Structure 1
Amino acid sequence: MKLLLVKLSSLGDVVHTFPALTDARTMIPDLDVDWAVEEAFAPVAALHPAVRRTISVPMRRLRKRPLAAWRSGEAGAVRAALVQEKYDIIIDAQGLLKSAFVARLARGARHGFDKASAREGLASHFYQGRHHVPEVEHMATRIRKLFALALGYSIENLPEDSGLRVPAPEAGAPPYLVYLHGTTWPTKTWNLEGWQALARLAQAAGWQVKMFAHGAAEEARARKVAESCTAVQLLPPQSLETIAPVLGAAAGVVSVDTGLGHLAAAYGVPTLGLYGPTDPRLTGMFGPHVRELAAARNCAPCEKTSCRIMPGFQEGPPCMADHDARMVWATLQSLRAGPA
């Protein structure tokens, strides 16, 4: 069976689709999956063993500069890749007008969330198969149910499995932790003092800590953490292809709400998420060894990129600054130790 999956973005949303692909491959062993995904996340989509081919969609350029995209041939190349063969089924697992439009370009019976379940209800008008999966569970579970309804099987006895396997560690490499501090929303950031204190706790316990940084703000924060603690190794900017194995081989991860944290959780790495303005119950990290520290304030989760309590904050709004480094460290150690 040939399946086209449409799930364009974001990194966390891409990762949340993995368990559904594992289910489908288990129930339909001859399943071949092509995945239409935004070009930045194609390397991550390709990590799942059920994926035969990724179709990179430069959605941002297509939306911002459509004429230039057509003239350059990019739009035509995407359409040619989508119509290259006829699919037995097409599943739009995103439920947006943009993803429904991409699915509409391909050849095959289109399935997706119904009007009441899709993030943009109008998207459902593009599907022949519309499935009711209410937004009352984690997104990864909802996508698993969407696949099961579209492909005709039950997930009742299927384990939650991302399908990713931890890469083999380098011979002789010491174990390490990863601290993921970078995120797109300023309200999701934890403050510098928190990261510095957490790094010192790791050093006192004999751990090495690795940190990534992309962009000036992240680089400045990571540099200050590294300057405060010799255990911290600041890694240079790199691609998702090289970041993924570093995450997969980590002994533990502490992360704000960011896509790389979702990827670490999918690998099965003990992953602790720090949450403030966002709600981990519906879109939190999904994996076998995940724990999340949610904000304790009444105003959270607000789902806002600005803070009404402290409008002028630079980083670490009050709901995130409340996370105490000692509590974070103790929770990480408990998570790594496993069930009591």
Structure 2
Amino acid sequence: MRILLIKMSSMGDVFHTFPALSDALQAWPDLQVDWVVEEGFAEIPQWHTAVDQVFPIALRRWRKTFWQGATRHEIRTFFQTINQTHYDLVLDAQGLLKSLWVMRKIGSGERVGMDWQSVREPLASLGYQRTVSVPKAQHAIMRLRQLFSAALGYEDVSASPVQYRLDTSNWQRPDSLPTDFQNSPYYVCLHGTTWKTKLWPEDYWRDLLAKLTASGQKVVLPWGTEEERERALRLAKSLKNDQAWVPDSPLGLNAMARLLKFADGIVSVDTGLSHVAAALETPMVVLYRVTDPELVGALGANVHRLASPCARQYLKRFQSDEQAEQSLEHLRPDDVLNALESVV
């Protein structure tokens, strides 16, 4: 059986799909999966053993220049390339009108997705030839596992342990790591995220880093934006003897994944990279100040999740200093250190 999977973004959503793929491959050992994914995440699907072809789509870029002849030509060429392959089934695991637009341009395969009550954008369900009911009040990984089992016709195994089944057998530590980090254990601290309310205070980071490095451990502080770079440099400056490394430039996705894979442990705020680490099964503690780990949190055998009393409120701004302080309950440096010791 060959299927086309449409799951274009975001990074966390892409990783959430891997356990469902693992289930499907277990049920259908000869399964071949081609995957439509945003071009910025095109490296990721190739890490799973079930994936054959990856089709990097530039939907975000096309939107900005849709009226231009060059863009329309690129779109035609993209779908002509996909339609050279015959599919038994096309599965929309995104559940949005934009993913339905992609699906409708595929010339073969039964179009399957979630039904009106289950899908993220209900109107999308009207474009499917077959719909699947998936309860909403559960983790995204569980929902995808149930979607795949119903779509492909095998027993629902979503209650069984999550298996990502990424092929990392040939991976090595990234070449960009300094020499003294190449052969030494190190921790990674993922301190950057999109919402300010999800950030962990810098004085908490300094406290944790001081305790981690007191026993001779080394720490890596990756960054992706200028604001994150400046924070990383401030944190590194608080330590002695070059025990922290701040990359000179942002790491690419492949290098970042390898950095996480070979870490002894990871401490992370709620960010897409926490899902990468969970899939790589690196011991990790994830901090949830204002987001609910039960629905969208990193999930894996070596993940310890810490949540504040505000974790289900999805606050993009705090209404008071008291609320900001409440969002740090159960997330003090000693809480994090104890949790880290329990998984490392």
Taking structure 2 as the reference length, what is the TM-score of the superposition?
A: 0.90
For 1:49 and 1:165, the matched residues in 2 are separated by 6
The one-letter code of the counterpart of 2:20 is A
Please tell me whether the aligned partners of residues 47 and 167 of structure 2 are also in contact (alpha carbons under 8 angstroms). Answer: no
Question: What is the CA distance between 1:164 and its match in structure 2?
Answer: 1.6
Tell me whether 1:328 sits opposite 2:336 in the alignment.
yes
Change in Cα spacing, 1:66 to 1:305, as seen in structure 2 (3 Å) is farther
Match of 1:269 among 263, 282, 290: 282
Q: Name the CA shift for 1:292/1:158 in 2 (closer, same or farther; >3 Å).
A: closer
Contact 1:62 1:69 in 2 (8 A): no
User: C-alpha offsets along residues 182-224 of structure 1, whole Å, 9 cap, x if unaligned?
Assistant: 1122221112111111111110122111121111110011111
Partner Cα distance (2:183, 2:90) in 1: 43
- SS across alignment from 2:67: helix
Q: What secondary structure does 2:305 align onto?
A: strand
Kindly report which structure 2 residues correspond to 1:119-268, keeping only aligned pairs within 5 A, or say none: 119-156=120-157, 159-166=161-168, 173-229=183-239, 230-235=242-247, 236-268=249-281
- Residue 152 of structure 1 and its aligned partner are, at CA, apart by 0.5
Does residue 1:278 correspond to 2:279, yes or no? Answer: no
Q: Who is 1:56 aligned against?
A: 56
CA distance in 1: counterparts of 2:288 and 2:32, whole angstroms: 36
Checking the alignment, whether the CA contact within 8 Å between 1:2 and 1:87 is kept in structure 2 is yes
The aligned amino acid for 2:164 is S
Once the two structures are superposed, the pairs formed by residues 95-106 of structure 1 within 5 Å of their partners are: 95-106=95-106
Give the TM-score of the pair, scaled to structure 1: 0.91
Equivalent in 296, 304, 308 of residue 291 of structure 1: 304
Alignment partner of 2:24: what SS? Answer: helix
Unaligned 5+ segments in structure 2 are: 174-180
Aligned to 1:34: 34
Are the counterparts in 2 of residues 257 and 273 from structure 1 also a CA contact under 8 Å? Answer: yes
Superposition CA RMSD, Å: 2.1
- 1:75 & 1:318 partners in 2: Cα distance? 49
How far the C-alpha of 1:172 sits from its partner, in A, is 6.7
- Distance across 1 between alignment mates of 2:163 and 2:68: 41
**Cα separation, partners in 2 of 1:202 and 1:302, compared to 1, 3 Å:** same
- How far did residue 275 of structure 1 move? 0.5
**Worse overlay, 236-245 or 169-178:** 169-178
Cα distance, 1:70 vs. partner?
4.8
Letter in 2 for 1:21: L
State the one-letter code of the partner of 2:315.
Answer: K
Does the 8 Å contact 1:177/1:250 carry over to 2?
Answer: yes
3-state SS, counterpart of residue 68 of structure 2: helix
Check the 8 A contact 1:9/1:38 in 2, yes or no: yes
> Which 5+ residue runs of structure 1 have no aligned equivalent?
none
> How much has 1:100 moved relative to structure 2?
1.5
- 2:315 paired with 1:304: yes
What is the CA distance between 1:116 and its match in structure 2?
0.4
Structure 1 residues 70 and 79: CA distance shift in structure 2, 3 A: farther
Residue identity matched to 2:273: L
CA distance in 2, matches of 1:92, 1:202: 44
Deviation at 1:69, TM superposition (A): 7.0
**How has the CA–CA distance of structure 1 residues 319 and 2 changed in structure 2, closer, same or farther, with 3 Å as cutoff?**
farther
Task: Give 2:10's aligned residue.
Answer: 10
